[in-house]
Amino acid sequence: MRPDLPATADPAHLLIVDDDLDFAHSLARLLGLEGYAVSVAHDSAGAMELAERADIALVDIRLGHEDGVHLAVEMLKRDPELLVVMITAYASAQTAIKALRAGIYDYLCKPFEPDDLIATVGRCFDRLRLARDRAEAEERLRRSRRMEAVGRLAAGIAHDFNNLLAVVVGNLKLAQEELTHGPRGDRAALDELVRDALDAAQDGIATNRRLLAVGRAQTLLPRVVDVGRTVGAMARRLERALGEEIALHLALPGAPFLTHVDPRQFEACLLNLAINARDAGAGRVRLAVEPWTVEPASPLLMEDMAPGPYVGVVLADDGCGMSAEVLEQAMTPFFSTKPTDQGSGLGLSTAYGFARQSGGTLLLESVPGEGTSVTLLLPALPAGAEADALPEPDPEADPPPSP
């Protein structure tokens, strides 16, 4: 009897495609006795109509004046998971090569014994069962990872906001107690308590902004920016963020490299990346602006990205690097290898959210003990575009979040 597919799968169904009516119906009766659901077609048009329900198709290599291999290719284009077994009375090395190149799973040579047919069909269903088991296992793993990421995000938000709310509530309670003293209350103490509560509330607002960046929901004010010029103007700030012990080397283009981006968020993104390099124990940081081309078939191309020219901002350090396990989770919100009081775990996830919201992406490469390279890819504008004037620094702007 046929090997059953998993209970979650559709009933096992076979399609026989052969222009010899007697032969096709003989096969159908034989396979029906084995418990398979069988459909029969005698030409390409009939086969394409019935193929949608089939798990396996047995296709004659010659269908009158039609080519069975060509039909199999068309069926596989429509359903890549379909397994096709060619039936041929013209076995040769050329026939086998042609079938395999077309993506055919197996072939049977006429005349064949019923046991050979049953064994071949059994192997097909074994393969289908394994493929579907693997797909279900991969989906369970993806679901588990999504739930783990959501759990980490929820725990991180709860932790950060609990700390902030504890400061706000504690200070307000102390202020309330101080007010019970009436005119004898210490006004300086009240001012300090209220100021601390306001600072904690402002920290909450800043954290919320970073979370919006992670979720690609922050409000951006994009301008046409010359990336090389902007990075050059940031050199002093980056050097201060890195500290005196870390050497910063810039590799900037002579010609304008233009993109449409929010300059303040772009600068905050670079500062976060520089702070990451500092905390990784780097002694040298290289910051380069380079042209990139993303081809239509490139694995870098996300679903909402267009192929074509991009501006790559590459920040590479010689710090401690990351293991494969850490690298896989590095852009997960609230994931951090630092002590809890030394980082929020939002630096890379915020930078990634900013890159994606700006039409690009963020790439990470790292080798333990050798360093990390982060590439911010942003869509390039034509050379004829003109950069907007950069806004003056805002003294009230939020400082970059601690990575």
Instruction: Say what the pLDDT of residue 162 is.
Output: 65
Report strand pairing: 62-63 vs 56-60.
unpaired
- The answer to whether residues 77 and 58 touch, using CB atoms and an 8 Å cutoff, is no
302, two tokens: 């996300």
pLDDT value of position 33: 86
Q: What global pTM score does this model have?
A: 0.52
What parts of the chain have a pLDDT lower than 50? 1-9, 393-399, 401-403
- pLDDT score, position 374: 96
The confidence score (pLDDT) of residue 178 equals 74
CA nearest to 364, candidates 301, 316, 396, 293 = 316
Per-residue pLDDT, 155: 58
The pLDDT of residue 303 is: 79
How many residues in the chain? 403
149 vs 143: CA distance, rounded Å: 10
Q: Going along 220-283, which residue ranges are E strands?
A: 223-226, 247-251, 258-261
pLDDT score recorded for residue 89: 73
DSSP label of 380: B
Give me the residue label for tokens 């009939």. 46
Residue with tokens 């490299």: 257
Nearest to 35 by CA among 67, 4, 70: 4
Q: Could you report the per-residue pLDDT of 363-393, keeping only the tens digit for each? A: 999 999 999 999 999 999 986 666 665 555 4
In tens, the pLDDT along 241-281 reads: 899 999 999 999 988 999 999 998 899 889 889 999 999 99
